Structure formats: C-alpha cells, structure tokens
Structure 1
Amino acid sequence: MTTTVKRAYNLNAGPSALPLEVLQKAQEELVDFKGAGMSVMEMSHRSKEYDEVHTEAIARLKKLYNIPENYEVLFLQGGASLQFTMLPMNFLKEGQTASYVQTGSWSEKAFKEAKVLGNAVIAASTKENNYKNIPAFDELNYNADDAYVHITSNNTIFGTEWAEFPDTGDVPLVADMSSDILSKPVDISKFAMIYAGAQKNLGPSGVTVVIIRKEFLETASENVPTILSYKTHADKNSLYNTPPTFGIYMLGEVLKWVEAQGGVEAVAKRNEEKAALIYDVIDASNGFYTGHAVEGSRSLMNITFRVADEELEKQFLAEAKEAGFVGLNGHRSVGGCRASTYNAVPYETCQALANFMKDFQAKH
C-alpha cells in the first residue's frame, strides 16, 4: 500500500514517530488480520493466530539485538515507571543495597521508588552540573555485594546518553533503556537486566520490554505479589494475564522494519547522521544556539538546546510550529528546545529542521 499522505515533522519525545510503512501495514490489517475476519485487537491472546504474533516478536527481538540464549524476553505493562518498583521489589532484599547512578529526572524517579522498598544509595550524580554530562566510570561508587547497579542509558529531558557502559563485574548491572533501545548495537551480556517502554523506538505506548538474564531471575524474591513477579511472566511466556496484544503486534512490525533497514547497525549509522545534521548547526551558530549536553555525553535520540534569548526562543518555537514541526518544546521542567530523533524519525525531518534553524539564525 503506497499512499501519499501528509506527515508532520514529528519530533515528539514520546509517544513518538512510528515508521509510515508499519502504520500502513497496520491500517491494512486492522479490520481483518490475515483472513481471520477480525483485528488482532479482537483476538483471544490464547489463539493460534495471536500466539504466532507473540512468539515471532520475541524471536525477532532476540535475533536483531543479539540477545544471548541465557536471557528471557518479557512483554509487560505499566511502562518504565512500574519497573522502578518491580526491580527493587524482586531483587533488593533485606540487608542489601542497590546503587543508582543519577543522570536525570527518570533516574531520580527510579531511585525514589527503590528507597521506598529498601536500602538504595546514589553511586554517582551529575545533578550539580544540571545533568549536562554522564559521569566517568571512575566516579561510580558501589560495593561488590550490592544487589545491583542501576543506570538510565539515555536521558530524554536533558539530552545525555551513555556512549559506553561500565563493566560492573559480579555486581548485576540494570539499565532503563526506554529511550535508546535498539538505536545502536549493545553488548547485552554486560547487563543482568534491561527494561524499556516501547513508545520511543519499539512501537506504541502500552508495552514494556524486559530483557533479563536467567541466572539473575533465579535470585528474585519469592515474597512478591504474583503479578509483580518477573518469574510469573517468565514462566508463562508473558501470557499470565491478557498482554497488550495490539501493541505487541505493532512492536513485531517495527522489528520487521528495523530488519528491512539493514538491522541495528544500519539504524545506528543513520541515527548518527541524523543527529549530526542538528548538532552541526548548533556548533556552527557562534552561540546563537547552545546545546545543553557536553560533547561526549550528547544523546543521539534527544537533542536539547536553547536559543540566544528568551523572546527569540519563543519566536523560534512558534515559527517552527507554523512550519510543521511538532514536539520541539523542551520538557516542561526545564524549558528550551528538544528535537527527538528516534529510529523512525526520517532523515528528511532532521534535514528540514537543520535548514529551518539555519534560516532562522540568518533572519535574526
């Protein structure tokens, strides 16, 4: 199905852009999925047709992301926010400590939830620097007997991202990868667990992916409510209760799209090119635009910047909106501007923004 449709320059931070091909395929199959006479949304999650969708999505993610055999892939609900609670509930036992690296608002929230459930400490923080950078590995302060070390791999609000990940040895490393999962190759074996809300790079909101090492899973507490236990969902192949079936179907279609682009490596190369278009304009603007994140910590997913002065910034955002750019306002907690350039955001959208930024500077 090739229909010419008017598409906004969608730079929303999440929920965010989905590949047009995926949306059109979903549109085709919305009423009648593969001759079943009904939508995926209407099917029993126990049906043969849905089981194929579910199983294929798990298998495709494992293959695309080179997930080792000793890991489970779970499809849960509640977003990363529920994971902030489930993680310590399952793995932070009495007498243990969990160490959290603070690099932005979401890592603060994860830490806050852990503190409710057990002994959590801050392993490192860049808050004093207004979260402009990711801490150096030698700044991380944790102990060999910690329950786990938690990081947030990409920080949507401040526009910083871990370029490389620490090796925590025998201490389990856990990452919230909600906003950069599948945007670049990752050595999954470094992590005891990765979790991610789908609504940035994987599909629509409603699905949360958890990639968890089986050995780590075996250490989970048994004294956890059934629905909040990772073991429950691993044992039942994420079908303990009704999963977000349509979201998982969409996630599977997004994974097929990533494959068609050439896989994660090809997507990563394109993401670097897209981000460079915008960062190059910021760097060449002689201070007209100022990036928030320091070089070396810059996010390829969320480009945060300010315009020379407050009135000009308001004008910039107003004119950008008129020109068809959506979602360029910075997060309400920090202000400024933010361009989110996730996997499905086309190169052409980033090129258009770069050109708009150059033209706006030239006018002012």
Structure 2
Amino acid sequence: MSKRLFNFCAGPAALPEAVLQTARDELTDWHGKGLSVMEMSHRSDEFVSIAEQAEQDLRDLLSIPSDYKVLFLQGGASQQFAQIPLNLLGEDGSADYIDTGIWSRKAIEEASRYGHINVAASAREYDYFAIPGQNEWQLSADAAYVHYTPNETIGGVEFNWIPEVGDKPLVADVSSDILSRPLDVSRFGLLYAGAQKNIGPSGLTVVIVRDDLLGKAHSKCPTMLDYSVAAQNGSMYNTPPTFAWYLSGLVFQWLKAQGGVEAMERINGAKQRKLYAAIDGSELYSNPINIADRSWMNIPFRLADDRLDKPFLVGAEERGLLNLKGHRSVGGMRASIYNAVPEAAVDALVAYMAEFEKQHG
C-alpha cells in the first residue's frame, strides 16, 4: 500500500485510515455475502442492519435523546438552507439568523426565498474576525426558529458557547465541528451536517431533529424535502446514498473505539493549541481571529509576504502536507484538522512552518 500523506483539506476531508482499510477489505464481499455494499438493495436486511447500527452508534456518541429523529439524507448542508425554512417556517413565517461568515450568509440568502428573515446579529462590524456577543443580538418575538453556524469553515471563527434563545427552536449547521467534542443535543431543535468533514464521505447529510418540529412543512414543500416523510420512511423514501451511509457508520465505530467525543475533545484540543501557538509565536505567520472565537477545526493563517505563499505550498507538498491553500475568497493558508487528521500531522506542519520561517523570515 502506498504511503498515506497528511491531508488538511476542508472537505471532502481526511478519513481514518482504519476505516478506509475496512472498506477496502469489504469492498467486493461484505461479510461473506458475495457482493459489495454498493450493490445491495437499500431495503435488504443486510443494508437495513448497516443503517440501523450507524444510527445507534451516532446516538451513542452524541447521547441523542429519544425524542429526536436522526435522518440520513442527500443534497449536502447547502440543500438544508432551503429544506429548513420549508419545514419550519410554515405558510408565512419568519426566522432569526446570525451572520458570522460565508456559510451563514448563504443560509440567510436561501431562507429569504421562503419567508421573512431577520438578521438578528452580524459579525460584519468585526470584519468577520469575531462573534457578536449575545448582548448584541436583536431576536424577534415571533421567530419560528433561530439559526446559526457554530463553526465557519472558511473564515475560521467558531462559537465556543451555545446561544440562549428561550423557547425558540435553535437550529445549527454543525457540518465542520460535529463529533469533534461533546455537544448537548437537547439544547437544539435541529442540527444538520454535511458528512464530508467529520462524519464520512460526501453525498450524505445528517439531520437531527426534535419530534415536535416534524409535520410543520409548508404546503408546497416537495415530498422529498419533508422531514416527516424521511422520518416515516427511515430515511429511505427513495434510494439513499448507501455507500456513504455505510462508510459513515464505520467512522462512528472508529470514533467509539477511540473513546468517543470526550477522547476527541482532548486530542483536538491538543492539536489546535499546538498550531495556534506556532502561529502566535511567529514573526512570519498570523491569524486575525479574536482568540476567544477561534475555530478548533479550520485554522486560517497568512504569511507576512503573499509572495511566499506559492513556495510555502510547494514545500508543504514536498513534505507530504496536502491541501493547505486557503479558500479562494480569503486567500492565505488554511489547515483543517478534523478528527481523522492525526496529531502527528499537526506536529509535521508546525515543524515545517518553523523550518520555512528560518529560511524566509
């Protein structure tokens, strides 16, 4: 087997090597059944057992209460930008949204097609380098729900606290920080996450929705987008992304074997502290984010001279440090250090950064 390199991609992101090896071993013959998971009927006993185990493992990892449905859907988190208002706004409703970066703004823009959206707070006045404190929020009395993006994958800002919104359902896009540390699901009405960062491969979206929020879809909501329909059909109203579901289940098993989200919190905490320390202790690298609002998962940094960006990336690839180029909208560098990125990867990156600074600082 060829050598695995260190992958800092923001998504589709690194998967645990042990998961890939299991998938490889089972690729053509799953558990002696003589066929691949990709070839199974989604209604077969074999695949239903895979799906049910994946759901139970996710419930165990996040301690999901029994009055929440776990849905395995398609369309990515971006489809949820429309699916959420179609299911929760009703016929002529309004909702509060918090603007902290590119992904929350995309959610706001899409939701605005289906009802009145109140931007209750924005990080714009902080140049999106800090999270507006809740004392700055202007929440509506009649909002059907409050939506926010706990971790902005591109900008690198993250809520390190859960908002208090009274009796309004709190809705969160947890695509890039789910399973990275413990999360009190009971504080939310709905959580959603594209899989391709901390869950599994692209093609799957997980939605965790409280039972009392089902059955409120707009009369024109497409059947395929109605959470109630998905829940009533075990996420199999149509053929689901079976292989992505299976691989995500393997990731959940791997996470449990590591010690669950509590263990990941310790590991991820160590990783992000090492990398931020390297950036903050440097004359060449910088991170503009307010320290209290820094992301654990997506760490952007810039070099003091943009002309050094290209040689930095070339040198990184030569050392097996992949996908460090920042998002095209912000430039610079970005290291995404999700669960499957080992601490050794961060150690290697920090060592290279120090070496590069000695040469070019």
TM tier, smaller: over 0.9
1:325 equivalenced with 2:328 (yes/no): no
**Match of residue 147 from structure 2:** 150
Write out per-residue CA displacement over residues 199-252 of structure 1, whole angstroms, 9 at most, x where no aligned residue: 000000001000000012243335422111011000101011001000010000
**Aligned counterpart in structure 2 of residue 343 of structure 1, from 339, 343, 353:** 339
Q: How many angstroms apart in 2 are the aligned matches of 1:290 and 1:283?
A: 6
Contact 1:330 1:336 survives alignment (8 Å): yes
1:261 equivalenced with 2:230 (yes/no): no
**Aligned counterpart in structure 2 of residue 112 of structure 1, from 109, 114, 131:** 109
1:178 equivalenced with 2:175 (yes/no): yes
Q: CA RMSD in A?
A: 1.1
Contact 2:180 2:261 survives alignment (8 Å): yes
The Cα shift of 1:322 comes to: 2.0
Q: How many angstroms apart in 2 are the aligned matches of 1:222 and 1:18?
A: 40
Contact 1:145 1:171 survives alignment (8 Å): no
Write out per-residue CA displacement over residues 254-308 of structure 1, whole angstroms, 9 at most, x where no aligned residue: 000000110101011100111111100011113x211031101100100001011
1:36 equivalenced with 2:33 (yes/no): yes
1:233 equivalenced with 2:233 (yes/no): no
**Match of residue 85 from structure 1:** 82
Q: How many angstroms apart in 1 are the aligned matches of 2:328 and 2:29?
A: 41
The Cα shift of 1:64 comes to: 0.8
Give the alignment's TM-score, normalised by structure 1.
0.97
What are structure 1's unaligned runs of at least 5 residues?
none
Aligned pairs for 1:57-96 (under 5 A) are: 57-96=54-93
Q: How many angstroms apart in 2 are the aligned matches of 1:39 and 1:268?
A: 34
Q: How many angstroms apart in 2 are the aligned matches of 1:344 and 1:69?
A: 28
Secondary structure at the aligned position of 1:116 is classed as: coil
Contact 1:91 1:219 survives alignment (8 Å): yes
Aligned pairs for 1:1-364 (under 5 A) are: 5-286=2-283, 288-364=284-360
Q: How many angstroms apart in 1 are the aligned matches of 2:123 and 2:157?
A: 11
Contact 2:65 2:185 survives alignment (8 Å): yes
Q: How many angstroms apart in 2 are the aligned matches of 1:25 and 1:138?
A: 49
Equivalent position amino acid for 2:307 in 1: E
Q: How many angstroms apart in 2 are the aligned matches of 1:260 and 1:313?
A: 38
Structure 1 stretches of 4+ moved >6 Å: none
Secondary structure at the aligned position of 1:101 is classed as: strand
Q: How many angstroms apart in 2 are the aligned matches of 1:191 and 1:220?
A: 18
Write out per-residue CA displacement over residues 114-167 of structure 1, whole angstroms, 9 at most, x where no aligned residue: 111111121111123221111211122112320111001111111111101111
What are structure 2's unaligned runs of at least 5 residues?
none
The Cα shift of 1:314 comes to: 2.5
Give the alignment's TM-score, normalised by structure 2.
0.97
